[in-house]
Structure 1
């Protein structure tokens, strides 16, 4: 499996990280993985909720200096 790309969403506040992640994931193939890097404190709530709603799998979550990283696997359904 290819190494997941990283999408830098640092400095963006709710709802921009989710909106941008939705658009980026929609352009990817099902099963593809993407690291999301955020500094928005609400992302720890918003990103998992977005994944559940859109049918994506949240593979890994990690707290990093100044924010969080989320490894998301694109689901098979079209995200809207």
Structure 2
């Protein structure tokens, strides 16, 4: 999964419920440079669809991968512009 790209920064939003994982992901990605990859660690199962939907509808970001395991949901988002 993350072997295909280098993670620039990790955002830990474990324990946060909707909409905070998306809100905090947007804030963190806005601070990164073009091409940087943000790893987001969440415990909210809704974050899988929420972050996917946010990335699909947001210019300048690309959802690279998502993974669920051990009660932690991992999201990898690249800033594209």
Asked if TM exceeds 0.5, the reply is yes
TM tier relative to shorter chain:
0.7 to 0.9
| Match status 1:34 vs 2:60 | no
TM-score (ref. length: structure 2):
0.85
How many residues are matched?
Answer: 76
Secondary structure of the residue aligned to 1:54 is coil
The runs of 5 or more residues in structure 1 that have no matched partner are none
Q: Determine the C-alpha separation between the residues in 1 that align with 2:7 and 2:25.
A: 18
The runs of 5 or more residues in structure 2 that have no matched partner are none
Q: Determine the C-alpha separation between the residues in 2 that align with 1:40 and 1:7.
A: 14
**1:10 equivalent among 7, 14, 34:** 14
Q: CA RMSD in A?
A: 1.4
Secondary structure of the residue aligned to 2:80 is coil
Provide the residue aligned with 1:71 in structure 2: 76
TM-score (ref. length: structure 1):
0.86
Q: Determine the C-alpha separation between the residues in 2 that align with 1:5 and 1:41.
A: 21
Quote how far apart the aligned CAs of 1:3 are: 3.7
Quote how far apart the aligned CAs of 1:5 are: 1.7
Deviations along 1:33-79, one digit per CA (max 9) or x if unpaired, are 01001111110110011111112111111112112101110121xxx
